[in-house]
Amino acid sequence: MGNEDWKNALRGYFDSLRVIERCKFEAVENFNQFCEFIAEPAFENLAEELKSYGIKSKFQKSKGSFIGFEIYFHKSKVDNFHYIISLPKNSVDLRLKLSIKGRRKKNSVLEEREEPFMKDIPPSNIMKLDKEDLIQDIIEHYKNFIYRAITSPE
């Protein structure tokens, strides 16, 4: 192995590290934009509509980490359902995770499950989502959770 070979190999290694770091930075930036321009407006619209059914909701976020939407039991201050979108640590793209948490009754413990966020949407298209698509996904998960909660045996 010649002198230039190992130098090229070392240069290639450091170039690869820079690319990975840039991709990680861009993933966090894109996630923050997703939260600001897609998720937050969707959550606000859905919260407004839920209010007309006597259902309180709220959202919370941690910059570069997660954004979540909570729905409470009808006319209650007890949380019923959580829809949490997160960017896994050290992500190089927007391959997001979705955590669904919920309780069947006001005095039940929260049950949790994790799955890929909108698994049929490639990471490259997450920023192209419309807030209406996100609202539909939340409603679908909420509806399925509630149906399971009210029809399953204890």
Angle between helices 40-51 and 131-151 (to 10 degrees): 50
Question: Range of 136's domain?
Answer: 3-151
Number of domains in the chain: 1
Task: Write the single-letter amino acid at 119.
Answer: K
What confidence tier does 44 reach under pLDDT thresholds 50, 70, 90? very high
Say if residue 41's pLDDT is above 80.
Answer: yes
pTM equals 0.90
DSSP label at 5? Answer: H
Query: Average pLDDT of the chain?
Result: 93
What mean pLDDT is predicted for residues 68-89? 95
Say if residue 1's pLDDT is above 60.
Answer: no
